[in-house]
Structure 1
Amino acid sequence: MCGQCGCDAHQAAPLPHRRLELHQPLLSRNDRQAAHNRDHFRRHGLRTVNLLSAPGSGKTALLEQLARHWPRPPIGVIVGDLATDNDAQRLQLAGARAVQILTGDLCHLDAALVDQAFGQLDCIGMDLLVIENVGNLVCPAAFDLGEQRRIAMLSVTEGEDKPLKYPALFKSADAVVINKRDLAEAVGFDRRTAIANLSAIAPQATLFELSARTGEGLNALIRWLDGKAA
């Protein structure tokens, strides 16, 4: 895919030990930058969350709801997309302070990109910063951005087996959000199977079921962010 995180390493380096040699220097640099970011966010008094999901799961819609209902607005959002600043514009209209990162052909955000974007963000009066990662269930899971909490999100339209197919993302999550619960019956979503899969793959994660469209279930997530993400 992007040629930087190692997701296409099999094309240039078919041997497993050679792939490790390509990965390690990049992730070491990223981890050092992430530690710097984490200290920087803490000095600014920010709760910082990395939000990851597939495209179309409803990340931006959820953040619009958070921007409108967070008890101490405004919230800050760093948005990662391959192209367009549509999501940043939507979030600004909802009341968030949003900065857009355009990644081009890069399939994930890294800590250096987040640091650059944070420098453009007015964080005075903010206590919540959300990093809306590029829509991708593979590469973003490997990159620490300096967040305090990580949320994995899936929608009922994606199927119950997403945690089984992409375990690394869900195993790294502090919380899992199942979105579009208002559509569950219409799409035949098997809630029991989905929760069983999540329990098997990510027993450490707090589970939230909500609808970003209607706001149903949002308050529980807000309480968790307000109380546990500090």
Structure 2
Amino acid sequence: MCRVVDLRQAVLAKNDEAAQVLRTELTARGTTVVNLLSSPGSGKTALLERELLLARQRGVPVAALTADLATENDALRLARSGVPVKQVLTDGLCHLEAAMLGRHLDGWLPGDTRLLFVENVGNLVCPAGYDLGESLRVVLASVTEGEDKPLKYPTAFGLAQLVVVTKTDIAEAVEFDEAAFRANVEQVNPGVEVVLTSARAGEGLGVLLDRALAAGSGEGTHTPVMAGRQHAHGHGHSHGHDHDHDHDHEHDHEHEHAHDHDHDEDHDHQHPHLHTVAQTR
């Protein structure tokens, strides 16, 4: 008799174990991880830059790790906030994993870091099933992406503890239907909070920071219904295909930076190249 082994579930189970270890270690040192997921071009980098700057102004020790398949553009932008930033290039891998994140944090993350924002690879499919040891999972969607986004990507939105709508300053121009979007989010993730933001106009600025601090202080976070089903029946599979080509054009090409090159070998996948953007804190 042949025995069928679900390799995906085995990989995810291994990741969950690593995520729990990482979560325990970081919580013990007072660090809260916030996992940010979105499609490419959602504007999460622009919003995160504003949130990091606000955290620094408030005196909250924060750091950010951003993952991309290529280029250091996001890290260069985030570094303008003046907080510790690290870029991880995945060389084709479409998501971060807990063990990978742990290796990148080792020896880099400042000991007094209260919040670590992880900007995952721009993708609503691959990263959705991977726990990174976060205490708060946030899914972002811009007003240009369509109100049916939560229905197309039920795993990503269904596991979110906070949903953030970005680029609301152009919502009227693109005829964004807020009520329809909220109804679709509610359908896949009943009770999750939806926050409206605009990095350009300053709408909703500070809410992400406040929710992250609340999660770190032990205040109750939203528990998605889908999370319970995953623990009971294994990890969900998302088969959506993201064809959005919306891009965030808020760029600044004047960067002064230094790079420390390290090569971290990931034997489960490929060999991500680690780039640290150095700046003063």
Report if the CA contact (8 A) 2:147-2:180 is conserved. Answer: yes
C-alpha distance in 2 between matches for 1:203 and 1:19: 34
- Match among 141, 162, 173 for residue 128 of structure 2: 141
Match of 2:180 in 1: 193
Match of 2:267 in 1: none
Match of 2:73 in 1: 86
The sequence identity of aligned pairs, in percent, is 45
Match of 1:46 in 2: 31
Structure (1/2) with the larger helix percentage: 1
- Match among 23, 26, 36 for residue 21 of structure 2: 36
- Match among 208, 222, 232 for residue 221 of structure 1: 208
Match of 1:209 in 2: 196
- Match among 58, 64, 82 for residue 77 of structure 1: 64
- Match among 7, 11, 22 for residue 26 of structure 1: 11
- Match among 37, 49, 62 for residue 64 of structure 1: 49
C-alpha distance in 2 between matches for 1:141 and 1:37: 18
Q: 1:192 to 1:73 in 2, by over 3 A?
A: same
Q: How does 1:165-176 map to 2 (within 5 A)?
A: 165-176=152-163
Report if the CA contact (8 A) 2:63-2:117 is conserved. Answer: yes
Displacement of 1:27 in angstroms is 1.1
Displacement of 1:19 in angstroms is 8.4
* Residues paired across the two proteins, number: 214
2:206 alignment partner, SS class: helix
Amino acid of the residue matched to residue 75 of structure 1?
V
Q: TM-score, normalised by structure 1?
A: 0.87
| Bigger mean CA deviation after superposition, 41-50 or 176-185 | 41-50
1:200 alignment partner, SS class: helix
C-alpha distance in 1 between matches for 2:5 and 2:180: 35
1:115 aligns with 2:110: no
C-alpha distance in 1 between matches for 2:187 and 2:140: 16
Amino acid of the residue matched to residue 173 of structure 1?
A
Structure 1: any 5+ residue segments left out of the alignment?
1-16
Report if the CA contact (8 A) 1:149-1:174 is conserved. Answer: yes
C-alpha distance in 2 between matches for 1:23 and 1:50: 21
Displacement of 1:120 in angstroms is 4.2
Displacement of 1:32 in angstroms is 1.3
1:40 alignment partner, SS class: helix
Runs ≥4 residues deviating over 3 A: 17-20
Report if the CA contact (8 A) 1:99-1:120 is conserved. Answer: no
Report if the CA contact (8 A) 2:68-2:120 is conserved. Answer: yes
Report if the CA contact (8 A) 1:67-1:73 is conserved. Answer: no
Q: Deviations over 1:7-61 (max 9, x none)?
A: xxxxxxxxxx998622122112211111111012112201211000000001111
Q: 1:18 to 1:64 in 2, by over 3 A?
A: farther
C-alpha distance in 1 between matches for 2:102 and 2:109: 13
Amino acid of the residue matched to residue 194 of structure 1?
F
Report if the CA contact (8 A) 2:51-2:208 is conserved. Answer: no
Q: Which has the higher contact order (CA 8 A, sep 6+)?
A: 2
Report if the CA contact (8 A) 1:100-1:117 is conserved. Answer: no
C-alpha distance in 1 between matches for 2:36 and 2:84: 16
Q: Deviations over 1:129-148 (max 9, x none)?
A: 11110000111010011001
Q: TM-score, normalised by structure 2?
A: 0.72
Report if the CA contact (8 A) 2:34-2:117 is conserved. Answer: yes
